[in-house]
Amino acid sequence: MQDLKQAIADNLKALNEATELREEEKEENRVTVETAKEGKAAVELALGILKDFYGKAFIQTGYVPPNSDREGLTVADRAPEAFSGTYHGNQDASKGIIGLLDVILSDFERTIATTDEEEKTAQGAFDVFEKDTKDDNAKKEKIIKKKQGQIAQAKDDLIDRGEDKADAQTSLGDSKAELKKLKPMCVEGEETYAQRVAKREKEIAALKEAMTILDEWQK
């Protein structure tokens, strides 16, 4: 029973340690996913802005920025005279930036998917370990309860046998006392053959003496 109780205690200790580690890992995965989702959202926002900027044309003709440089000239003033029409930005540069952001976006998405899968696997393994540990402890506790019942029954049996022994000892004492009373009459009171012969001879001698006295009295 002591070994079973120690095994249960060891199981509970291992389960508590595993639970603490699982909670820490779960929190780390939560933070990782949350951070990745925030980064994904930021990249998606940046991609949306860039694609909108490079995908739409805006007219530069007649556009005068509100600020000018030290010489009092604006961007429009310094633009070549032949420049006019729709401006689409630096398309070559946009491809590189958007491509880089797409890679970063994929990394965030992969991080989220991988972390979610790892969390699912880790939680599944923990659930199995927790169930196995609790089932094992339940079996051990059942065995302990059974053994406790056997011990209680054994104690009851010992008490009953102790009482039987006490009763037997009392009966034995009474029997010895009764035997002691009967012994003088049944054993010590018996005469031997020689004693009986001597007794009869003595009785015969007494009768002869009595007859002699009687005969002399009659004369």
Q: Alpha helix (H) ranges present in 56-90?
A: 75-78
pTM, 2 dp: 0.54
- What the block records as the tokens of 106 is 């994929």
- What the block records as the tokens of 87 is 């401006």
In a structure prediction context, what are the per-residue pLDDT tens digits for the chain, which is 219 residues long?
999 999 999 999 999 999 999 999 999 999 999 999 999 999 999 999 888 887 764 434 344 445 545 554 544 444 444 344 444 445 555 578 888 999 999 999 999 999 999 999 999 999 999 999 999 999 999 999 999 999 999 999 999 898 888 888 888 888 888 777 766 655 555 567 787 788 888 888 888 888 888 777 766
Residue 53 and residue 89 in contact, taking contact as beta carbons nearer than 8 Å: yes
Q: Using alpha carbons only, how large is the chain's radius of gyration in Å? A: 59
Q: What is the pLDDT of residue 202?
A: 85
- What the block records as the tokens of 179 is 């035997």
Residues 6+ apart with CB under 8 A from 37: 108, 112
Q: What is the pLDDT of residue 61?
A: 36
- What the block records as the tokens of 170 is 């009392």
Q: What is the pLDDT of residue 79?
A: 45
Q: Alpha helix (H) ranges present in 66-192?
A: 75-78, 91-183
Geometric angle at alpha carbon 209, from 206 and 210, rounded to 5°: 85
What stretch of H or E contains 64?
Answer: none
- DSSP type of residue 190: P
